[in-house]
Amino acid sequence: MQPGTLNLLQLFGWIPNHKGDYIFVNGNTPEELSQREEIANEFRQFYNELKNFKDGDISSVENFHTVNL
């Protein structure tokens, strides 16, 4: 059983090959590329908020974010 965080890889185009490896699949459509970019931006924003929270600055934490997949 894989950790749930590995499921994030599939959102960025990395697909498991059932041998324990992940293979990158290029985006074929503008919609898929746009979705991956949105996901990357959300992830980046979430990571930055976590860093600020860890440093004790919770004023940077904005309203809850909803990600539609």
What tens digit of pLDDT does each residue of 20-47 get?
Answer: 899 988 888 888 888 888 888 988 888 8
> Distance from first CA to last CA of the chain, Å, rounded?
22
**Is 69 domain-assigned?**
no
Q: How many domains does the chain have?
A: 1
Backbone dihedral region for residue 3 (phi beyond 0: left; psi -120 to 50: alpha; all else: beta): beta
At a CB cut-off of 8 Å and minimum separation 6, what does 61 contact?
A: 49, 52, 53
**Is 68 domain-assigned?**
no
At residue 14, does pLDDT exceed 70?
A: yes
Which pTM does this prediction carry?
0.56
At residue 2, does pLDDT exceed 60?
A: no
**Is 66 domain-assigned?**
no
Q: How far apart are CA 19 and CA 23, in angstroms?
A: 11
* Residue scoring higher pLDDT (17 or 5): 17
**Is 31 domain-assigned?**
yes
**Is 65 domain-assigned?**
no
